[in-house]
A and B are shown apart, each in its own frame.
Chain A
Amino acid sequence: MTTKKKYPEKWTELNPGCMVFEAGSAKAHKTGSWKAQHPVWDNRKCIKCGVCYIYCPEACVSRTEEGYYAADLEYCKGCGICAHECWPGAIEMKEEEV
């Protein structure tokens, strides 16, 4: 499986044991669609400590150019750990809109 081609055309083209020889290939598979909540940052409260970035189990939080933090919602599962860990209270979990 490669990032260029998301899935092989046929079952016979799969790598043995589904081994993945390319680093970072999970990027091709967007897994954020099943979350019930998503984090929203209030940058007025954010002190740029990066705790949210460190604690995110999906590694989907990254640093923006201004030094604040944001989650890539295409991979975020809405677990709320970032909001729980953010001691200045800059992250709020909001319900997904159906």
Chain B
Amino acid sequence: MAKRVGMEVAIAAAEAVALCRIDVAAVYPITPNTHIAEHLAEIVADGRLDAEYITVESEHSSISACCGASGAGARAYTATSSQGLMLMHEILPIVSAMRLPVVMGLANRAVSGPLNIWNDHSDIMPQRDSGWISFFAENGQEAVDMSIQSFRIAEDPEVMLPIVLNIDGFQLTHMIEALELPSQKEVDRYLPPFRPLATLHPDKPVSMGAYALPDIFTEVMKVKDSVLIDSKKTILKAWDEWGKQFGRWYKPVETYKADGAEVLIMTMGSMGETASIAVDELRAKGVPAGLVKLRLWRPFPFEEFREAIKGAKVLIVCDRAVSFGGPGGPVAAEVKSALYSDAGRPAVLNFLIGLGGRDVTVENFKDILEKGVQAINKKPAGGYIFYGVRE
């Protein structure tokens, strides 16, 4: 039976990963991921988990160790934050191209400079095109559930792709939440053992990571794109089965009071919780406001996204990273491009919020939503706004 516990989310995420019976963990500690790294090390050292915990000298090494371990047929896990992910960047597209189902927990943190250890999404956004499946957790329970789901989805023979699970640094990782930890028996029922496509073994030689000449590189890129798009089918199936077994249901795009909403605000990760309170307060006053939460970032759920925002006149996109000198925040840029061919598309407003750990309060979200209400039936101004910037 599942156990109801009060636990720090980073610790709970490490417990969830241990329940997945990983074979190898290679994690280099970096704030705010450190508690995941430390707690996993503790679980292995205490003998609660029969796994190899590789103490590496950098994040470039941790992801490379996971790449090799996964190639050898091991279930491999890593976790990092910010600069650590930037150091891993070189290896990320290699892991996906080699179809190695490594799972990574990313405690999201702002990227330097200037140095800032607090939460935003500027670490994950530059990795967008690495060919990884990318999930965003909204709370501790989702961080636990999705850690387990990730191994099952990544290792599905139809998928065989790495997954990064975004868990907002501090806002989630360092929060103590009441959550349900599934039992080992329940996790074993949901997650079958890893069956690799091939393993590095002298008895049956195989070359992994072979090079591709210009004559064949385009075809390889086509495969990468196609496999990532098709992974959505497996993701939906895995979430459906999770719902049936555990009673908690997951969708690529979640909505909250979106029915009949003329103004929708879109968030990713932990901010959905705060934004939902703002929506409640405005709805109580008769303001037609609603919330859309994007859980699946890659593959981008175009179909579900269009369905979720249908009928809205204004869509406010909250970005937690800046695309300097570009068209706005990276999420808004994608949303606008997804909507370009739709005749009845809403006006899109783009707010850059919560950068480098700046708090975004319920009052802030109400203010942003009211700005959205003012934009109904007006031609959108375009561009983007650094919300709350001192001027």
A17 at interface by CB-CB < 8 Å = yes
B219 in complex: contacting residue of A14, A19, A21, A25, CB < 8 Å: A14
B341 at interface by CB-CB < 8 Å = no
Chain B residues, CB < 8 A from A20:
206-207, 210
Interface string of A14-30 (1 = CB under 8 A from B): 10111111010110010
Report the contact-size class of chain B (Cβ under 8 Å from the partner). 20 to 34
Bound complex: CA A11 to CA B198 (Å)? 20
B343 at interface by CB-CB < 8 Å = no
B99 at interface by CB-CB < 8 Å = yes
The 5 closest A-B pairs by CB, nearest first: A17-B99, A11-B219, A20-B207, A11-B222, A17-B98
Give A contacts to B, CB under 8 Å: 1, 7-8, 10-12, 14, 16-21, 23, 25-26, 29
New A-B pairs, 13, CB < 8 Å, besides A14-B216, A19-B208, A29-B213:
A11-B218, A11-B226, A14-B219, A16-B197, A18-B98, A18-B209, A18-B210, A18-B212, A19-B197, A19-B210, A20-B207, A20-B210, A21-B198
Are A7 and B197 in touch, CB under 8 angstroms? no
Residue of B nearest to A26 (CB): B210
B198 in complex: contacting residue of A14, A19, A23, A29, CB < 8 Å: A19
Which of B99, B209, B210, B218 lies at the interface centre, i.e. has the most chain A CB atoms within 10 A of its CB? B210
Are B215 and A7 in touch, CB under 8 angstroms? yes
Give B contacts to A, CB under 8 Å: 97-100, 160, 197-198, 205-210, 212-213, 215-216, 218-220, 222-223, 226
Chain A residues, CB < 8 A from B197:
16-17, 19
